Structures are given as structure tokens and as C-alpha cells.
Amino acid sequence: MNDPLLLLLAAVAGIALGLLFYGGLWWTIRKSMASPRPALWILVSLLVRMGITLAGFYVVAGTHWERLVLCLLGFMAARAGVTWATRLPVEPGVGAKQKASHAP
């Protein structure tokens, strides 16, 4: 394979790793809210997500820093995408201060 194709694949792998990491975070938060042991959910999820992500970066980058940079850029792009896709709907006429008034 030629170098531009490997760089493109590194960026796609970064997007996949980001979707897995941040999608897993979103799923973990939702599951932990209904769990009697939320700290266990969050800790185990962090270890699994971090292990998979770091191993993925290691495999993708190899000895090429360019691949690592593109993988990280894809990872950050996936963060923006997951954040956008999982945002809460805004109710018309309700400001942020009014929605957060239930907290001390």
C-alpha cells in the first residue's frame, strides 16, 4: 500500500477508536445512573475503554508519528461527532439557568 492510503486508514482508525471510546463513555454514564454501584461501572469502563484505545493507537502508529497524529485527529473528530449526536434536546423557552435551578 502507498503512504497516503495508510494515512487515510490511520485517520479512519482514529475515528473508530473515538466512536468506541466516547460512545462507550456515553453508554457507561447511562448505565451507571440506574446501577446500585455506579463507581464500579465507571471504573471498569474506563479501564476497558482506555486499554482498547491505547492498544489501537499503538497498533495504528507503529513507528510512524504521522499516523499517530492523524489517528489522534480522527479521535478528536469522533469526540465532536459523539458529543453532537448525544446532546440533549433543548426545550423552547427554557434557558440554561432555569433548567439547572434544581441543583444547589
Average pLDDT over residues 62-90: 91
pLDDT score recorded for residue 36:
92
CB 13 within 8 A of CB 71: yes
In the predicted structure, residue 26 carries a pLDDT above the cut 60: yes
Average pLDDT over residues 58-73: 93
- pTM for the full model? 0.79
Give the separation between CA 52 and CA 16, rounded to whole angstroms. Answer: 11
Q: Helix (H, G, I), strand (E, B), or coil: what is residue 104?
A: coil
In our burial notation (b when 16+ CB lie closer than 10 A, e otherwise), range 51-62 reads eebeebbeebbe
Give the separation between CA 83 and CA 6, rounded to whole angstroms. Answer: 27
Give the separation between CA 26 and CA 101, rounded to whole angstroms. Answer: 24
Q: Give Cβ neighbours of residue 49 (< 8 Å, ≥ 6 apart).
A: 20, 21, 24, 25, 28
DSSP 8-state assignment for residue 64: -
**25: confidence class by pLDDT, cuts 50, 70, 90:** very high
In the predicted structure, residue 21 carries a pLDDT above the cut 60: yes
